[in-house]
Structure 1
Amino acid sequence: MTTVDVHGISLGIESFGDDDAPLVLLAGGTTMLSWPDALCERLAAGGRRAVRYDLRDSGESTTADPQAPSYTLRDLAADAAALAGVLGGGPAHLAGIGVGGMVAQVAALDHPGAFSALTLAGTRAVAPGPVDDDLPDHDRATMGRLFARPMPDWADREAVAEFAAGSAEILGDDPAAARATAARVWDRTPGTAPSVQMANQMGMVFSRLDCGPRWRERLPGIRVPTLVVHGRHDRFFPVGNGEAIAREVPGARLLVLKTAATAIPEAAAGEVAEAMLALG
């Protein structure tokens, strides 16, 4: 892991594979660890340079004030394009998961020359907040259970990891995998300030971000090969959101992971990697 400077900020990255291989750039949602190690390794074994990175105010990337970000979704999209340029090798295959998938959609629309292919995992085509009438919103019962839980002591690594495991169980994800990832995120978070730890673990910065203007209506303008990946049992962004993206992006392929929820489980990493490699 290291950091790369792009237009005045630092982005934390981790690279898998040959530096001269075609680039697959994986935008975190919000940290890079949203992308499983096994998937990155499979991409590298398939002849790609897989680089996963932290969005601003998460992981090893520049942290300013996660409670009041001074940048916008379009700035995060510009970060992706700039990072692809710095890493070199021509247009990159851009992949985004969760909120990183929103970044990836806008990046592909605003900076089409920077990207050769697009993968959108567990995301939707509208910003945080009220959802479009034709799209399924967060499952209410699940959200009620999630937000009824008391917050942990964000300065206590083990308490944070256990909280993440409990959240994963409610969402239908693997608690053990979530516990391990949360501990790794905690270790990579700069400092132990509770507000920063909470922002890193929960992606709080994104709920405070200016995500205008809308981009869903622009999706037919995406002209690169696109893969949409979604868990059949995703209760946070139900699968209808992925289905809508796949309908609206010309020629997009939809891959529904039959046993997955919000996260990409390690057992599905090979299937997802093969589908991504098939985009070219």
Structure 2
Amino acid sequence: MSTNMIENAGTELWTEEFGDVTHPPILLVMGSMTQGVLWPDEFVGRLVAAGRRVIRYDHRDTGRSATVDFEQNPYTWHDIKDDVLRVLDAYGLESAHLVCHSAGGLLGQLIAVERPERVRTLTVIGSSPLGGHEGEVVLRALTGQPQPEGSLPPPRPEFVAHYTALMTAPPPADRREQVRRMIEEGRVLHGGGLPFDEDAERRLQERVLERARDLSAVVNHRLAYAACPDFEPEGVLGRITAPTLVIEGTHEPAKPGHGAIIAERVPGAELLTIEGMGHMLHPLCHAELAAAIVRHTAR
């Protein structure tokens, strides 16, 4: 395992590499406002043990990557997308297997459309279809607005209740309260289909806090998304040529049923449903997740 700070247009990105450099490369792309270490170490270890070279990284404004004053140095989600390509460049990779989670799946889908030569295979986990404008669906759900006909399925009630309450909650009074809120968010995102380990979640969130240059900087991702209404072009998923694996848990609270829509719109895509899994990568699902990805990337 080795770590490396790379630079893209003046922005430092923290990266970490595992495995033999001669093995097939997998780049792990996390979701919005989320550090790369949310790809669990045990899950990464399974991929490496199966003969994969694995790279994970912190998005800009998360973890150990650079943070910015957004008003002075604005950027868009197109820049976050381009960071994915710059990580590949930094490791001398013309292409890689992209494994993407949540909003990272949007990044992966758009790269597969725009730069197909850089994507050996695409795996999206707990994601929404490009062009579905899932953010608008969530906003309507949180504000009690009706969903237009034909929109994506909204989040589950427990997800809506949790984030609706957060919208009016005061800022955390101290670190202890911050960790408590992060644990409760983790509980909601795990979906309730499998046992929730509060102690493990506490250790993870303490790690997230300790690694963050500025935890509040993650909100810049929302500003960046709002700054590029053209980020989600519609009707383009049929142009994806990379072999695509779509994974969704039966207890997905944030994007229920979105995986099936991706699989339907991407030619030849395979849909894998994992029993009990919510939005996060539960330890009891690591073996099945890793085995599926190893099979998919064996090409």
TM over 0.5, yes or no? yes
What percentage of aligned pairs have identical amino acids?
30
The match for 1:181 is 204
Q: Offset of 1:167 from its aligned partner?
A: 1.9
The match for 1:8 is 10
CA distance in 2, matches of 1:34, 1:68: 29
CA distance in 1, matches of 2:292, 2:72: 37
- Which secondary structure does the structure 1 equivalent of 2:267 belong to? coil
Decide whether the 8 Å contact of 1:155 with 1:197 is kept in 2. Answer: no
- Which secondary structure does the structure 1 equivalent of 2:162 belong to? helix
Q: Offset of 1:8 from its aligned partner?
A: 2.9
Q: Deviations over 1:114-169 (max 9, x none)?
A: 1111111111023453237242022244312333153553751x332221111222
Q: Offset of 1:278 from its aligned partner?
A: 1.3
CA distance in 1, matches of 2:136, 2:272: 26
Q: Offset of 1:268 from its aligned partner?
A: 0.8
**Structure index of larger Rg:** 2
Output the amino acid matched with 1:275.
A
CA distance in 2, matches of 1:254, 1:86: 32
Decide whether the 8 Å contact of 1:57 with 1:66 is kept in 2. Answer: no
CA-based RMSD: 2.2
- Which secondary structure does the structure 2 equivalent of 1:271 belong to? helix
- Which secondary structure does the structure 1 equivalent of 2:253 belong to? coil
Q: Unpaired runs of 5+ in structure 1?
A: 191-195
- Which secondary structure does the structure 1 equivalent of 2:235 belong to? helix
CA distance 1:141–1:65, change in 2 (3 Å): same
CA distance in 1, matches of 2:237, 2:88: 21
CA distance in 2, matches of 1:53, 1:105: 18
1:41 is aligned to 2:45: yes
Q: Offset of 1:199 from its aligned partner?
A: 4.3
CA distance 1:250–1:67, change in 2 (3 Å): farther
The match for 1:261 is 278
The match for 1:129 is 135
CA distance 1:2–1:85, change in 2 (3 Å): closer
The match for 1:273 is 290
Q: How many residues align?
A: 270
Of 228, 232, 242, which aligns to 2:259?
242
Structure 1 length normalisation: TM-score? 0.87
1:207 is aligned to 2:202: no
Q: Offset of 1:11 from its aligned partner?
A: 1.2
CA distance in 1, matches of 2:71, 2:9: 22
1:230 is aligned to 2:248: yes
CA distance 1:19–1:155, change in 2 (3 Å): farther
Decide whether the 8 Å contact of 1:23 with 1:50 is kept in 2. Answer: yes
Decide whether the 8 Å contact of 1:20 with 1:89 is kept in 2. Answer: no
The match for 1:167 is 185
Q: Offset of 1:61 from its aligned partner?
A: 1.4
Structure 2 matches for 1:91-110, cutoff 5 A?
91-110=95-114
The match for 2:141 is none
CA distance in 2, matches of 1:66, 1:159: 26
- Which secondary structure does the structure 1 equivalent of 2:69 belong to? coil
1:85 is aligned to 2:108: no
The match for 1:143 is 160
The match for 1:193 is none
CA distance in 1, matches of 2:102, 2:197: 18
